[in-house]
A and B are shown apart, each in its own frame.
Chain A
């Protein structure tokens, strides 16, 4: 658990971070979202003391982070950055092994863990002895992730981790990232200016502007309960796409026609978002029918594209009136 209490930081006369407080729960992914210069990166870097706050306190699991040397703090926190920050003079294996070496792991343990991660991130097996510049951008970013996760830290900080990648590579890595068992238990704070990415990956989003928190809440809160004009406008241009991603089959379950059938193994979970469901239905071709099941009620429904979009529409109508 990470707690920021009334934290501020100035750069010269500009107040980069202005009296912000929030808590990130254990296992939660909090995305710091905002335009460049809003203070999100400064906020992130204060958590591992790459930047020291001018005022306020930051604590991890109740312990203030400045109670020990910054090196010791940082070795316990994974860090992923936009430009990978891989050491150009280290091989892939050596890059991954930086923190284990600092923690004085024995060589076999490090090697075992490295091989495990290389497998998990579907990196080529023979890349161990290559230098970073011999890898593609996507591969480099995976090595960067592996380096941050090698010691299995409880907390991972990510500074625009996918920012330097092209769109295709990015969405590939993002979905890999989401599916990664390794990350599910971790407390993650991630910085991004990409609204789509924030909605895709966040449990909660902290929208920032001019060093202050505008709104902090779940993606759904941000979409449907914006606290002010800024929060609304920030999402407006991509609202529909975001809604497709935020709303799940379960949310619109009551608006779907009742064509109850016996639950089948093939049935997709009702936690699937509308966007993925649409993708599935449109790729089904001549038979636009698909099964969705609600795990709690053990119900399954068979629907087509038309029924899905009608239900989505009804849900939105209702959300507006709430």
Chain B
């Protein structure tokens, strides 16, 4: 435990620059959006307190906005506002709106009506009643709303890293992708501390004698502005091209680190979620992104892969990995699974992914169409010779593969099939396999090597130069270490790739990563 803490501590000191920037970005995002939410929410709250008939619909709309999943909301923002701080702030603003509107409304409506009557009867104008009576008396309730909004915003701001707006989410989601607990904690602990500290501070403000508060209340917007000012809006780049990489890509040797050390690529980079990355490239918010070479969106958004001429991306050939025990328990399974071996190359896989991701066809239909076209489809035999459990990770390609295996097994054997698709990530999938929760799932050689086996970096460099050496290394090591079999590769290589819009690549005459570096160096 102590060791764990020390390594976390050393990680945090090592990355203290990044940590500080991210924390300030986080605070900045939170406060800028909060300020805007107050600027929008307070007048709205006052309006509906004046015109109660509007209250239902305004609070209803704010409530509905609140329920939109954050990722979806961020996704909607890209076509409108691009990526970076702007859409993140707008999304945060939307989440902060409801507590502020609602508490302003409740605070004002809750004031003893005799006090308002007295204010009117003494001859105060509407504005005077509002500023001198209603707002001061509603202030504790309004502050409670702002407090809620602040805590919500600190939490949601972690998601800002999905759309290249920075914040502590960079560490958190980078750490999750890289299976690096220290990185996760280095983001999560400061984020939690921020929430707790801000909550305490605001509860202190709430308890302040409002008479004293009255004299310094004008300081609050100032303070919020000041903290908001810390936030430097990213996107001002010194090169003409902008790159957006996933948090996972940022932290990997066969990712951004390799690009820097092997190619010497110096490009202005922002961190972004792969859920919105392709779209951002399509919308010309980004020029270079770190995609997957068989991703369907490559086709959908007209992107092209830059050739990895120095070979830093290891091969990621897909093949089913099966428990040794299961192969023995279900004779004939291996032969059925190998029916797919060598049948799907990169462009075919990209096309299949395009059909599900972009044309919105079901994985089931895409799988069936493909098997029929290859003459591999057979009607299910509906046998009862035992159940084979198929796993898959949580992205389109894996669903399609799982569906194909499902049909092949049902058509060629008497076994039944149970699919456990959508397992959230390599670690979860692999743990399910090792713990006899599933019998097999499609895995990639690069992942097997770098994420699961994690051998010495020198050895990695050595073996990843060649796809066959990689395959035979993981096959041997898995057999020995886990009693898990790698069957024959399916054919395609879903590796990391740098990609650009096809048009831009043509215009700039950049087709390889080296050319990209040269282009950037010369501009």
Q: Using a CB–CB distance below 8 Å, which chain A residues touch chain B?
A: 48, 50, 69-76, 79, 81-89, 98-99, 102, 147, 157
Contacts and interface: CB of A to CB of B under 8 A. Distances in A.
Contacts of A48: 121
B210 A79 contact: no
Contact of A102 (B122, B137, B210): B122
B124 A88 contact: no
Given A71-B123, A71-B124, A74-B123, A86 B118 contact: yes
Q: How large is the interface on B (under 10, 10 to 19, 20 to 34, 35 or more residues)?
A: 10 to 19
B121 A99 contact: no
A76 to B, nearest CB: 8
Given A89-B211, A102-B128, A147 B122 contact: yes
A149 to B, nearest CB: 12
Contacts of A76: 123
Interface of B: 112, 114-115, 117-125, 128, 133, 136-137, 210-211
Nearest to B137: A89
11 contacts: A48-B121, A75-B122, A75-B123, A79-B122, A81-B114, A86-B118, A89-B210, A98-B122, A99-B123, A102-B122, A102-B123
A99 B211 CA distance: 20
A8 B465 CA distance: 96
Contact of A71 (B125, B210, B211): B125
- Say whether chain B's binding surface is mostly helix, strand, loop, or mixed: helix
Contacts of B119: 85, 87
A102 B125 CA distance: 9
Nearest to A73: B123
B115 A87 contact: yes
Those 9 A-B pairs whose CB atoms lie nearest each other, nearest first: A85-B118, A75-B123, A74-B123, A79-B121, A83-B114, A71-B123, A85-B114, A71-B125, A89-B136
Contacts of A99: 122-123
A79 B118 contact: yes
A81 B122 contact: no
A87 B119 CA distance: 8
A81 B117 contact: yes
A73 B118 CA distance: 14
Contacts of A81: 114, 117-118, 121
B121 A85 contact: yes
Contacts of A75: 122-123
A65 to B, nearest CB: 13
Contacts of A70: 120, 123
Contacts of A84: 114, 118
B215 to A, nearest CB: 13
A70 B129 CA distance: 14
A50 B117 contact: yes
A94 to B, nearest CB: 10
A87 B133 contact: yes
- Most chain A C-beta atoms within 10 Å of own C-beta, residue among B117, B122, B136, B137: B122
